[in-house]
Amino acid sequence: MMMRAPLLSLAVLLVGCGQGADAGRVPRHDGAFDLGRLAQPDGQSGPAAGAPDGGPDRDSTIDRGSSPDQAAEIGASPDLAADMPIGPDLAADTGAAVDLATDAVARGDLAGGDAASGGADDGGCTLADNIPVDRLPVTDFHAYHNQLQIEDYLQAVASALPSMAQYKVLGQSAQGRDLPYLIINATCQASPLAVFTNGTHHGDEPSSTEAVLAIPDYLLRKSTSDASVRSLLETYAFFVLPLVNPDGFALNTRENADGLDINRDYSYPLRSDADSFKTVEARLVKSLQESVGFHAAIAYHSGAQEVLWPWCYTGDATADAGFFTAAGQKTAQAMDFVIFQQSYDDYPTQGEYIDFAYWRSHTLAATFEVSTAKAPSAASLAGVVDSACQGMVAWVQAVSDHDRGSLHALPVMATARRRFPLTAPFDGTNRLE
Ligand SMILES: [Zn+2]
């Protein structure tokens, strides 16, 4: 049976647990967020200007390396900045102003003025049964997309399905580029459980970007033919953030524009918030994480083919290691990968997103390393993306099964420590994914 708590107050969501390594025993937070409580700012949703038909032609080969001129141009968005629900400074301190409201969803409106929906939380609403996929913009993954194409595409999805998809901007990077994201909520719930998918913590791992960008199309189209995918869409809201590190993406660098590794910048049980979050990008993700309190999450990377889970900073197992092992196995099978393990057993790291999310919000978070090459050939990209989407569905399905009590946990040590035994710890330099 699905457990769904009443609407959570933002104040509760913002309380850090601070129990250190005991975080796994913190009473479960269900990851629901409240669409109705949070204000809708002006100008951050609705149809994208200039992209009514799905944005620009995406068939052309993409120049991923934005020029300095382009960077300056993208950064110079004073109007947008003025309207942003949060700026970098605010995000660092409050994390409270992230706008999650999807007015149309909260009202239960359907696209095109249909009146079939009875409204949010009415128990009889089946939006995911009625997704007009023929309205979706056409996209493909035979070439890499650049930032502007990513923004256009996400905006076009929101424009096509305004009742269940909303385009947002989380904030701006160090160089002023937007961090665009999409909320897909086909649950007809005002406070559904939420799943967070993010890519491009590392700017030189563009297949992770594409893997996340593919999620809306995959989920929405698959829902028409796959009852299990439809059920997931009826149960969870999906937050899709392809570009955590848009500056590194434009510059083709692992780090952000200040030379900092965003995925080593989160707090974890041995490092405080005050000693973390040096990057504006990690602060933005933190604000979203704490505002929503995601039930599950996947952080996409590339440079290997693996499914990894917390902890990264210690070889100690989490309280959910049985779940993680079973979910990791099912996900690896779906992706045709052979390696699924606690992230520490890949190599030890400090300050990764998944440790922060699990520690702070009890998010059932995983890292997917989606391709051996960080930037596989364009010809192989579609296959990588499809595999990554199948893995996403497998992970969320495992979460759903876990919620329903039907996931059979696996012994924790079944796959552990196959690469870097404690006697030969990763030296921090010879392999970074
Ligand atoms: Zn990475």
Q: Give 146-188 pLDDT, tens digit per residue.
A: 999 999 999 999 999 999 999 999 999 999 999 999 999 999 9
- Give yes or no for residue 421 having a pLDDT over 80: no
Measured CA to CA, the distance from residue 164 to residue 183 in angstroms comes to 8
Residue 32 pLDDT: 58
Which token pair is 84? 């942003």
The alpha carbon of 47 and the centre of ligand 1 are apart by a number of angstroms equal to 32
* DSSP single-letter state for residue 86: -
Q: How many CB atoms lie within 10 A of CB 150?
A: 26
Amino acid at 358: Y
Element (H, E) at 424: none
* DSSP single-letter state for residue 414: G
Average pLDDT over residues 224-243: 96
Which token pair is 246? 């848009």
How much of the chain exceeds pLDDT 70, in percent? 67
The alpha carbon of 226 and the centre of ligand 1 are apart by a number of angstroms equal to 31
Q: Where are the beta strands (DSSP E) in 211-363?
A: 236-241, 296-301, 304-309, 339-342
Residue 34: pLDDT band with limits 50, 70, 90:
low
CA-based nearest residue to 71, from 253, 211, 206: 253
Residue 425 pLDDT: 44
- Give yes or no for residue 398 having a pLDDT over 70: yes
Cβ–Cβ under 8 Å, residues 358 and 318: yes
User: Which residue segments constitute the domains of the chain, with CATH numbers given?
Assistant: 106-403 (3.40.630.10)
The rounded Cα 408 to chain-centroid distance in angstroms is 25
The alpha carbon of 137 and the centre of ligand 1 are apart by a number of angstroms equal to 29
Cβ–Cβ under 8 Å, residues 403 and 194: no
The alpha carbon of 303 and the centre of ligand 1 are apart by a number of angstroms equal to 7
The alpha carbon of 262 and the centre of ligand 1 are apart by a number of angstroms equal to 10
Measured CA to CA, the distance from residue 157 to residue 48 in angstroms comes to 9
Cβ–Cβ under 8 Å, residues 308 and 331: no
Mind listing the pLDDT tens digit for each residue in 106-155? Answer: 443 433 333 333 333 344 555 777 899 999 999 999 999 999 999 999 99
The alpha carbon of 404 and the centre of ligand 1 are apart by a number of angstroms equal to 32
Residue 127 pLDDT: 74
- Give yes or no for residue 190 having a pLDDT over 70: yes
The alpha carbon of 306 and the centre of ligand 1 are apart by a number of angstroms equal to 12
Which token pair is 40? 């809708």
Average pLDDT over residues 13-18: 32
Cβ–Cβ under 8 Å, residues 330 and 366: no
The alpha carbon of 236 and the centre of ligand 1 are apart by a number of angstroms equal to 26
Distances (CA, A) of 349 to 22, 182, 254, 425: 19, 29, 15, 10
Which token pair is 385? 């993306």
Helix (H, G, I), strand (E, B) or coil at 311: coil
pTM of the model: 0.75
Q: What is the mean pLDDT of the chain?
A: 77
Measured CA to CA, the distance from residue 213 to residue 147 in angstroms comes to 11
The alpha carbon of 100 and the centre of ligand 1 are apart by a number of angstroms equal to 27
The alpha carbon of 59 and the centre of ligand 1 are apart by a number of angstroms equal to 27
Mind listing the pLDDT tens digit for each residue in 261-313? Answer: 999 999 999 999 999 999 999 999 999 999 999 999 999 999 999 999 999 99
Which token pair is 61? 């080969």
Residue 432 pLDDT: 83
- Give yes or no for residue 420 having a pLDDT over 60: no
Mind listing the pLDDT tens digit for each residue in 68-103? Answer: 333 333 333 333 333 333 333 333 333 333 344 444
The alpha carbon of 424 and the centre of ligand 1 are apart by a number of angstroms equal to 22
The residue to which tokens 């035979």 are assigned: 142
The alpha carbon of 32 and the centre of ligand 1 are apart by a number of angstroms equal to 28
